[in-house]
Amino acid sequence: MGKRGFTLLEVILASLMLSVGVGAFFCSFLMGKETVGRAGRNSMAYFLTRDLINELKNAVDANYWPPFAPPTVEVTNPYGNLIAGNHTSDISTTPLGMTFSGTRQYDVDNVDLDLAVSSVDYKTITVKVHWNEP
């Protein structure tokens, strides 16, 4: 009755509970690291998509507003340099030590609008970024 200490069964159960707790703690760190990596790749895909949209917009603006052109210059088709079809480029970059590789694709489709202005060529652009998960 006056014994002090723990039985072998109590020590085994305590160490088992401690190991489960430590394992769950480290597992949460690993899952957090994976989640941060995925969020980084999603952000990189977003920035690459936005960058491509800006490139296409600048190409259209350069056609529509020629630099140093007199105000009397009329541009009949500002979208002439956007060729219809599927356009793909490979991506391989390592910003801030994060490896990002994949493809960047944009599709240009002609839109047929029955408008009185026939000299304007309307187009839709779909941008997609595909990347390889490490």
pLDDT digits (tens, 9 = 90+) for 117-127: 556 667 788 88
Question: Does the reported pTM lie above 0.85?
Answer: no
- How is the chain split into domains, by residue range? 8-131
Per-residue pLDDT of 19-75, as tens digits, reads 999 999 889 988 988 888 888 888 888 888 888 888 888 777 666 555 555 445 454
Mean pLDDT of 96-114: 79
DSSP state of 124: E
Cα separation of 2 and 128, whole Å? 74
Residue 128, both tokens? 């997609």
Cα separation of 43 and 128, whole Å? 14
Which is nearest to 63 in space by CA: 51, 52, 74, 49? 74
With 0-12 / 13-18 / 19 or more C-beta atoms within 10 angstroms meaning exposed / middle / buried, residue 52 is buried
